[in-house]
Structure 1
Amino acid sequence: MKTAPVDSTIPTATTLFEVRPAEGKLMADQTPKTLETILLVEDEPAVRQLFAHALTRAGYRVYEARNGEEAIKVFDQHGDTIDMLLTDMRMPYMGGAELAHHLRERRSSLKLLCISRSRATSC
């Protein structure tokens, strides 16, 4: 039995760019401010920090939780101020769909945004 040759080289790409200081200064009043508060639920610390930083910079208030159980505790304390649930779908202890269902039972007007690395998920 003959086998096809396997190319074991890993393709690489290099992108070069110049980092320069920003022109001018960003004034505090230039940062967009919203009155919206997001409950961010993500079990990967780096991903959670990235989302929290970006959302905060965009003017949102952000509560963070590592999983569904922790998110419910945050919602118990601050649920009346939370406008949106932004949740990963696949997490330990309680997945995003179960969490969304649980919190929507408590407040049907809660906005939902579900994220996942898998294409076959729904919120």
Structure 2
Amino acid sequence: MRFVLLIDSLVIVSCISLMPCVGKAQTDAVINAKPIAINFNSLPTNSTDISFLKASELVYCAYQGGLLQQGIPSGGTLVLKTLNGNILAKDLVRAAVNANKLPAQVLNDQNYLNSVGLQLEALPDEAALD
């Protein structure tokens, strides 16, 4: 049982560690001689200047208490509620939208929601390192 937990933890840490590398591996695009970055932080709209918090930044913000006024607990309480399934990625994103930290369109961005979900799954391991 402990071996399986160790393997799962290593896979999660590896995925989190490789995420920034994948983002950097994407090439920059140029529109009207203006470079734009194509990544998870750009909304699929006609505007190329819209950007927002990365999933890891959002989860860290919540962990540090940045969404307390929206009903998202911080620290260990956030970790426990995440483990119990009481707080899901959509809840965190909705709270960030209500706090004007994210645009409302992000609620329909399944890639972003999946990224936040992965970060929430890794949160207990990350919190244990504190």
TM-score, normalised to structure 1, is: 0.31
Relative to the length of structure 2, the TM-score reads: 0.30
Choose between structure 1 and 2: higher helix proportion. 2
Max Rg structure? 1
